[in-house]
Chain A
């Protein structure tokens, strides 16, 4: 029982981690809580499903199709909803993000219908036992995909030119612009990268629970934020760590406390973290300047 819940929690946690990384990247660059991120996750799941069922794509192709489509959505959102009010106070961008989230949920409802759609069995699911640790094929696929994507992301952020530009922009956007970095381009690329990671998480969740529906992104979007806050918002390894902590504690909590309060556990962790260490586990505390 414990081992089962643990592997379940790690699979869930890696999905949260993927979502949280996209979240934290966008926050790191423009200090915006991208409320629409959870809905990008939903769009990714729907696009992958459409790729498999309607367009008869291979699983990997459909997965990439979902990620690319969601990246496009991310850029469009940044362009239409955020960039016109980029310089406005943050409450305005925040409300614009909420508006975008509501719009995307209902847009998906209009196109794909409000009912839950079944995700076809695309992977043969076997259960493996190793030293008392039980894991299913799907869980291993989720973990493997997450590790692969995070490795690629780390490479992009640490070793490429655009990655360096992203790190500069997140430290100080104005200074980065003075150094000749095209910060607009950096923002769009960040949105594209973050959205495609979110979409990957959505597609994996769709496969794992075999269900895709328009409201599926709302709670994971909030949980991704919580995971990012736990790890220290703006920090990519922090988001990874936060995601895993959230996934495991949620699985164990649902198993040993009460499954009805599954979603409440995340918020309780959030409130505890914010009250005890607001900068997060791996974050830096920033003093407010007058």
Chain B
């Protein structure tokens, strides 16, 4: 019983801290977004240039701190994963909760190809992307009939089935023991096995993902996807092939998650089914929601915050997931549009009212009546 009081006391303290920090951070982000949207082109370009140089020089700045470098690699990995889920959730408006499955497919494809067949990493990387994409297609088909909650549960089911297959098909995947000894990638005769090398590898993937996200957002396909998300029936009436677009979003998300999985397996040299459980999907989902569904800077920020948070919370590791849960609930109550919502950049900051229905409208439609 003493235990009960300590737990409740601690949780109350953490909840208060969380509440205040969400409030403060959201004020800060709104302010920055307002400033940024009013800044002129040159200031923006300069800011972008400086941050690009900082990121590029990052491994040299922290070359003596492998812990920081490894954490940054994990941050970039989660940025890629969160952005890949953003294709499905943010662009197409489909609530997929089995995203870790695609990540798993990518990781296992690379692991099996490089360890069993001694295929080079780059070939395995491409194969991971293709096979994860095929799985995305497989999962994209039921989404034609499902919406919202049903889709969420089906995707959870898909993730769980895949995990069970990985555990039970021992002759192929070695079951719960996992696959050790995945080799490092080689590039022009050089083996990438330092943290710096991995950093640039995942940085390239992250830049590629961000690039695709922006290109898609402003392309014909992206506009179509957003139309489908906002109102599927109206979009179809306008002649948009919503089926094709939704499947496209799934496949794209799956391909990029598969690439991230491929990178993960070569980075840690070991895969095991427990790396890809339901919690992993929830963590990726939380990143997207925390940052702001559909907002690319938001998703990047959410992924960064939530992958650094576990490291920062190391001292209170037992409370970590409890805090995660509270964070998710509080975000939904206090700031449902995420840290950097889509509206933050469109000059709508001044009139923003989180309680109004306007902010939710797109998501409201997306998940069905």
Enumerate chain A interface residues (CB-CB to B < 8 A).
33, 80-81, 84-85, 87-96, 98-107, 109-111, 218, 222, 225-226, 229, 258, 260-261, 263-264, 266-268, 270-271, 274-275, 278, 288-290
The answer to whether B325 touches A270, judged by C-beta atoms less than 8 angstroms apart, is no
The answer to whether B161 touches A267, judged by C-beta atoms less than 8 angstroms apart, is yes
The answer to whether B329 touches A96, judged by C-beta atoms less than 8 angstroms apart, is yes
Could you tell me the distance between the alpha carbons of A111 and B1 in the complex, rounded to whole angstroms? 9
When distances are taken between beta carbons in the complex, the residues of chain A under 8 Å from B3 are: 110-111
Closest to A288 in B: B369
Can you list 22 contacts pairing A with B, beta carbon distance less than 8 Å? A87-B357, A91-B95, A94-B152, A99-B332, A101-B325, A102-B325, A103-B329, A104-B325, A106-B324, A111-B3, A222-B153, A222-B157, A263-B160, A264-B164, A266-B157, A270-B153, A274-B142, A274-B145, A275-B145, A278-B145, A278-B146, A288-B233
Beyond A107-B7, A264-B164, is A99–B326 a contact (Cβ under 8 Å)? yes
The answer to whether B154 touches A94, judged by C-beta atoms less than 8 angstroms apart, is no
Q: Using a Cβ cutoff of 8 Å, how many contacts connect chains A and B?
A: 143
B residues 213-236 with Cβ under 8 Å of A? 233
Size of the B side of the interface (Cβ < 8 Å), in residues, is: 50
The answer to whether B150 touches A95, judged by C-beta atoms less than 8 angstroms apart, is no
Closest to A112 in B: B3
When distances are taken between beta carbons in the complex, the residues of chain B under 8 Å from A266 are: 157
4 closest A-B pairs by CB: A103-B325, A99-B328, A267-B157, A102-B325
The answer to whether A274 touches B150, judged by C-beta atoms less than 8 angstroms apart, is yes
The answer to whether B282 touches A98, judged by C-beta atoms less than 8 angstroms apart, is yes
The majority secondary structure among interface residues of chain A is helix
When distances are taken between beta carbons in the complex, the residues of chain B under 8 Å from A278 are: 145-146, 150
Besides the known contacts A85-B332, A89-B367, 7 further A-B residue pairs in the complex with CB atoms under 8 A apart = A96-B328, A100-B325, A103-B322, A263-B160, A267-B160, A275-B145, A288-B233
The answer to whether A89 touches B364, judged by C-beta atoms less than 8 angstroms apart, is yes
Q: Beta-carbon contacts of B153-174 to A below 8 Å, as 1s and 0s?
A: 1101110110011011000000
Beyond A33-B149, A94-B149, A99-B327, is A271–B157 a contact (Cβ under 8 Å)? yes
Could you tell me the distance between the alpha carbons of A222 and B142 in the complex, rounded to whole angstroms? 18
The answer to whether B322 touches A85, judged by C-beta atoms less than 8 angstroms apart, is no
Could you tell me the distance between the alpha carbons of A104 and B328 in the complex, rounded to whole angstroms? 13
Enumerate chain B interface residues (CB-CB to A < 8 A).
3-4, 7, 11, 95, 142, 145-146, 148-150, 152-154, 156-158, 160-161, 164-165, 167-168, 233, 278, 282, 285, 289, 318-322, 324-329, 332-333, 336, 357, 360, 363-364, 366-369
The answer to whether A268 touches B161, judged by C-beta atoms less than 8 angstroms apart, is yes
Could you tell me the distance between the alpha carbons of A93 and B331 in the complex, rounded to whole angstroms? 11
When distances are taken between beta carbons in the complex, the residues of chain B under 8 Å from A103 are: 322, 324-326, 329
When distances are taken between beta carbons in the complex, the residues of chain A under 8 Å from B167 are: 260
CB distance from B294 to the nearest CB of A (A): 12
CB distance from B250 to the nearest CB of A (A): 16
Closest to A91 in B: B367
Q: Which of B319, B367, B368 contacts A110 (CB 8 A)?
A: B319
Q: Which of A80, A229, A263 contacts B150 (CB 8 A)?
A: A229
CB distance from A72 to the nearest CB of B (A): 14
The answer to whether B164 touches A260, judged by C-beta atoms less than 8 angstroms apart, is yes
Could you tell me the distance between the alpha carbons of A81 and B327 in the complex, rounded to whole angstroms? 11
When distances are taken between beta carbons in the complex, the residues of chain A under 8 Å from B278 are: 218
Closest to B334 in A: A84
The answer to whether A274 touches B146, judged by C-beta atoms less than 8 angstroms apart, is yes
When distances are taken between beta carbons in the complex, the residues of chain A under 8 Å from B150 are: 229, 274, 278
When distances are taken between beta carbons in the complex, the residues of chain B under 8 Å from A81 are: 329, 333
The answer to whether A90 touches B332, judged by C-beta atoms less than 8 angstroms apart, is no
CB distance from B162 to the nearest CB of A (A): 9
Could you tell me the distance between the alpha carbons of A111 and B233 in the complex, rounded to whole angstroms? 49
Could you tell me the distance between the alpha carbons of A106 and B313 in the complex, rounded to whole angstroms? 15
